[in-house]
Amino acid sequence: MANIFQATLALTAAAANNIAASQTPGAAGNLTLSAGATAGTTPEAARRILFTPAGAEGANGTIWTVYGTNRNGAALQETVTGVDNPSTVYTTQDFRTVTRIAVNKAQVGAVTVGTNGIASSQWFMLNRALTPVNVGIGVVVSGTINFTVEYTFDDPNEPYTGTFPTVFSITALASKTANTDSALTTPAFAIRLTQNSFTAPGTALIIALQAGLG
């Protein structure tokens, strides 16, 4: 029988300092979070968390650890290695809430923490018992947005234990800015929609239909 998946990415505009305003930790400890992050209203949806350092935090050996929850409310944690200004760095996972950000040592300069234009939908688990593998995928956009449809051979539930899945892009659905459709015809564990950049209120809707006989 058919297996249907649908998800929409619709985010508010990015803000580089809406999780933690500019601050310079003088020792290991926790960053001071914004009122919105403390209240659990920032970010407004599950999305990447962006670090913008003013100093050479890569050379300094700075490490930030983000604690929070995923889109389903499950505990989520990720370690982010510092980079040198003017570079920025962001999490590989999407955080729906940020409850604490720890730093391992005194920083060289200030850092702000916020959001960028990157986020992913939830993973759509494919039925690997169906044959042949045939997943029709269409993405419908509104406004200005750049997206990629991705797949993985790993179990996406593993990130919650600290292991990230290896992600690949479907070439025909990579870095697209307009309505696009294609198909996945090789076995995979799951697929998802990832927004690479956008201008609010740009949105992207993915619809995937898996067909086959069990």
Report how many domains make up the chain: 2
Instruction: Please report where in the chains the tokens 């069990």 appear, as a residue.
Output: 214
CA dist., res. 158 & res. 169, Å (int): 19
Whether 83 is in a domain gets the answer: yes
CA dist., res. 196 & res. 145, Å (int): 8
Does residue 110 share a domain with residue 24? yes
Contact between 46 and 16 (Cβ < 8 Å): no
Q: Of 148, 154, 152, which Cα lies nearest the Cα of 120?
A: 148
Whether 159 is in a domain gets the answer: yes
CATH number, position 186:
2.60.120
Q: What is the pLDDT of residues 45-80, one digit of tens each?
A: 999 999 999 999 999 999 999 999 999 999 999 999
Does residue 124 share a domain with residue 111? no
Instruction: Please report where in the chains the tokens 């029709």 appear, as a residue.
Output: 136
Whether 15 is in a domain gets the answer: no
Write out the residue range of the structural domain in which residue 137 sits.
3-10+120-213
Does residue 152 share a domain with residue 86? no
CA dist., res. 73 & res. 94, Å (int): 12
Question: Which position has the higher pLDDT, 133 or 94?
Answer: 94
Does residue 83 share a domain with residue 143? no
What mean pLDDT is predicted for residues 143-160? Answer: 92
Contact between 114 and 185 (Cβ < 8 Å): no
Whether 145 is in a domain gets the answer: yes
Q: What is the pLDDT of residues 175-201, one digit of tens each?
A: 999 999 999 999 999 999 999 999 999
Does residue 151 share a domain with residue 111? no
Q: What is the pLDDT of residues 26-38, one digit of tens each?
A: 999 999 999 999 9
